[in-house]
Amino acid sequence: MELGEVLRDRRKAAGRTIASVAMDAGLSVPYIANLENGRGNPTVAALDRLATALGAQLEVRIGEDQPSASSVGAELLSGSERVERVIAQVATGRRTRAAVRDDLIRTLDALADLLGRPPAAADLDRLLDLLLLGVNPSSR
């Protein structure tokens, strides 16, 4: 997921406008709008102010700490039509869609180790069902 998408998702999940975030971060509305649209080169200081304004913490990493695109979990997610709908329901408040997606990939990769085989589409469906039960406890 790109920086602009993360910023937009986080802002919308908080029910905030670009103007209110800009005021809290001490940045201009056009600057933030450009970042959300994939334009501009923000400084780390500007990103830190944006993160704080959005109730988050900026983390800067160097290296591969994210699940690789060739992981079993990543492959399963890319082949599922249902995943995006479930991710949208689970990603609320402080949890971005990117964070939920990464956690799902890591969970599926760990499941492969536990099962001793790659998880199948049915395993993904069961995991998605569990997530939906967690966010919609009244549907039990």
Distance CA 104, CA 107 (A): 5
Averaged pLDDT, 112-132: 91
Averaged pLDDT, 107-133: 91
Distance CA 69, CA 71 (A): 6
Between residues 102 and 29, the one the model is more confident about: 29
Q: How many domains does the chain have?
A: 2
Digit-coded pLDDT (tens) for 35-55: 999 998 999 999 999 989 988
Domain that holds residue 108: 72-139
- The answer to whether 16 and 54 are in contact (CB under 8 A) is yes
- The answer to whether 103 and 74 are in contact (CB under 8 A) is no
- Whether 78 and 129 map to the same domain: the answer is yes
What is the rounded end-to-end Cα distance, in angstroms, of the chain?
32
64 domain-assigned: no
Percentage of residues of the chain with pLDDT beyond 90 = 38
Q: Decide if pLDDT at 21 tops 90.
A: yes
- Whether 78 and 125 map to the same domain: the answer is yes
Residue found under tokens 């890319």? 78
Token readout for 51 is 């993160």
Averaged pLDDT, 22-45: 94
CATH number for the domain including 26?
A: 1.10.260.40
